[in-house]
Structure 1
């Protein structure tokens, strides 16, 4: 899949990933450039860093490289951000039965990371977010994704409404999830290509996003709770789409 050219990031702006899953996944991604690594000798023995510069450090020194109490597990990597993907290229790889996730202004990195992890678990085609109203790559996001940041295609677009139009042109049935919908998700399922659209917690989808959906649906949850965390809702919706497709 083609990626947009991107200039090297200044060192002070490079993300730092921590934890063995996130760093191992970054090492295994040929599209990922790793600038440098810090590790304890014990943790380093479990990796093949190749020709990447490695600085050996103790646990306390590593703790100063990451947010407070971040579970670095003895290894921290400074990386270049992945080049952006083209939406058209992702849509060209669409297959019946592989859902696409669209996130409308979901900005919490832990939620987006968890959604990436669920997308990997259910073999989703990828996720699509806005360029500006989505979290950047970060250690917290990579940790929550548990490696899925390196394997699930993530397309960032300037105009989400236009992106939804492109999805329709590619044969996707766009289902927006909202608690106010009359139909359940099972009732709203349409053709074999499904795009699941989720909005931010609290605000939900914007009105312009809703108008670019083919159907609005709700998850059939108990009235004892108002709503689900967006990452939980995404996981349930992916499971429902997978079951619907057989």
Structure 2
């Protein structure tokens, strides 16, 4: 009857083929209604992402984890106990430290683990076959450090008139050894340079070897990626820079470089082929480093370092 709260729901009429049956009172309809969007994994208390987030918030250090069998680290790997320890000491950016299971922990391993824990770098435990696969067969001695992909700057980022001092940039032409790139980065940082430009193709990039050789300088000196080196050098000339190229048959010797006090781009060619034709034609001057007649050429990294030192010395005299 109306107003009776104990009503159990609609009842089919007696002449129905299925007979008189009590209804659900809308319960089934309500059960089909959605409950809203699924919460994020980090918001669901029973999910591992929720627990991991709470551990991070509380500053807890998680135990070493095991990588997936099919997991392949992105970026580069620095392998070997000495290399990994040196990279951690100079503060090279890292996303994971891989440690072999049941490793014979010497002082290098212990210090590596401590440095990684202090920097909150995830420590991943891996069995020897897994670590062999991750290192692609390179001898790793039970340790491997994952370096994230490098984020290159744009050449326009180095055209900064507000940068301290007279601008000094180094460009590489045909340098394919990443260790040369790392050594040049170290010299640029030591002598107050503002950045390095590398071509997009046929050039060394910021690999783990470059990071290691730079001894941490790569974290302070920007590396810009140029789609076309000749066009980039032309843009720098239009912005007020002078472009000089290093070559053993240069028109000007380094001690007499009058352009040293101007905004400068130093172009370093490969040790074998030297400067490419278009790059040479773009330079304002071709400069040579005086050497003994018994030496044919200098390593690209050494030539860049000597030139940067001399430019800095000439500028200090002004």
Query: Which residue does 1:85 correspond to in 2?
Result: 153
Is the partner of 1:216 in helix, strand or coil?
strand
Is the partner of 1:202 in helix, strand or coil?
coil
Is the partner of 2:95 in helix, strand or coil?
strand
Closer, same or farther: CA 159–24 of 1 in aligned 2, 3 Å:
same
Deviation at 1:139, TM superposition (A): 2.1
Closer, same or farther: CA 60–49 of 1 in aligned 2, 3 Å:
farther
In structure 1, list runs of 5 or more residues that go unmatched: 1-9
Deviation at 1:149, TM superposition (A): 1.8
1:36, 1:77 within 8 Å by CA — same for their partners in 2? yes
RMSD over aligned Cα atoms: 2.8
Partners of 1:206 and 1:243 lie apart in 2 by: 28
Superposition pairs of residues 94-243 of structure 1, within 5 angstroms: 94-190=163-259, 191-243=261-313
Deviation at 1:138, TM superposition (A): 2.1
Work out which of the residue numbers 95, 98, 121 in structure 2 matches 1:38.
Answer: 98
Closer, same or farther: CA 55–49 of 1 in aligned 2, 3 Å:
farther
In structure 2, list runs of 5 or more residues that go unmatched: 1-70, 100-108
CA distances 1:175-206 after superposition (whole Å, capped 9, x unpaired): 11111113102323314211111101110000
Is the partner of 2:302 in helix, strand or coil?
helix
Partners of 1:204 and 1:122 lie apart in 2 by: 23
Q: TM-score, normalised by structure 1?
A: 0.81
Could you say which structure has the larger radius of gyration? 2
2:85, 2:111 within 8 Å by CA — same for their partners in 1? no
Partners of 1:61 and 1:41 lie apart in 2 by: 21
CA distances 1:89-114 after superposition (whole Å, capped 9, x unpaired): 22125444342101101010111111
Partners of 1:128 and 1:99 lie apart in 2 by: 11
1:182, 1:217 within 8 Å by CA — same for their partners in 2? yes
Residue 79 (structure 2) pairs with residue 19 (structure 1): no
